[in-house]
Amino acid sequence: MCSLAIRWTGARLNAGTRLGLPTRPGTRGVASCPCAGPGVLVNAAATGNGEPALGWLSWSDLEPHVTSTSPLLLGMENGTTYFAIDLTRDESAAATVEAQGDYRFEEARSAAENLLSGPEAAIMAQGRAQVNWHNRHGFCSVCGHATEMRRGGQKRECTSCKAEHFPRTDPVIIMLVHDGERCLLGQSRGRLQAMNRYSALAGFMDQAEAIEEAVAREVMEEAGIRWFDRSEVLLALEEKSEKLRLPGPIAIAHHLIKAWAYGEVI
């Protein structure tokens, strides 16, 4: 699994604004909220105390600077239509956003764990997923010609053979292996390793594979795994351990580990 470094901006329309779903740069009438690199735009004053943290901007703030991307439809809520915009290739747009003192770019995982509410984290995750999919599917898997965004980003269409391409939903498994008083956690390489961060094991399912088979295979394949006593995990959940750090409450792994540590699962 990999995480693409992206710049994206969530966009929204005021209620009553009429808009043909955008498929090309320069779409008018959109309002926006950017992200940069692996980060997301947040209010500079955001503290994670429950106030809205995502930074939303008007499309007029970005339109003069956006040259190579199109808004991606996220959905509607309370009369407002939300979009995401990838600013990876629009450095001037990203610089314009950063120059505004009311906002800052925050690393996405950190923002999700420390600043964003559950609904805001979901919006960010949806935006990143759609941007990543479009970045990876610029060409048709049938004939190799370029594809174009359609239906506000909900699909892509080949410019030659007209084949339609839709985002995939891949099945994954996540599990907590334990023997009663100990649980088995894994650690990925990189910065999380330096932070003593461990998590539950997880991975993609293979075709025609049963859930139980996927669990057994992933446990066998994982490297960097270690047994932890319940007492160690309880300390980590209370953020009192120097040897173990666990994922934050935004992660499924956190709740699996917490349920086991407090005896809610057998």
Half-sphere exposure of 132 (CA within 13 A, CB side): 14
Average pLDDT over residues 76-98: 75
* pLDDT per position as a tens digit, 37-56: 566 777 777 776 767 778 77
pTM, two decimal places: 0.71
Cα 116 to Cα 126: distance, rounded to the nearest angstrom: 14
pLDDT at 91: 72
Indicate if the pLDDT at residue 34 is higher than 90: no
Share of the chain above pLDDT 90, in %: 37
Alpha-helix residue ranges (DSSP H) falling in 81-238:
91-99, 108-114, 118-136, 191-194, 211-221, 230-237
In this structure, what are the phi and psi dihedrals at residue 132, rounded to the nearest 5 degrees?
Answer: -60, -45
Helix (H/G/I), strand (E/B), else coil: 92: helix
* pLDDT per position as a tens digit, 185-239: 998 776 666 678 899 999 999 999 999 999 999 998 887 789 999 999 999 999 9
pLDDT at 230: 95
Helix (H/G/I), strand (E/B), else coil: 18: coil
CB 79 within 8 A of CB 147: no
Indicate if the pLDDT at residue 19 is higher than 50: no
Cα 259 to Cα 246: distance, rounded to the nearest angstrom: 13
Cα 188 to Cα 167: distance, rounded to the nearest angstrom: 27
pLDDT at 168: 87
pLDDT at 54: 82
pLDDT at 6: 32
Tokens 């991307």 -> residue = 69
In this structure, what are the phi and psi dihedrals at residue 13, rounded to the nearest 5 degrees?
Answer: -110, 140
Indicate if the pLDDT at residue 240 is higher than 70: yes
pLDDT at 256: 95
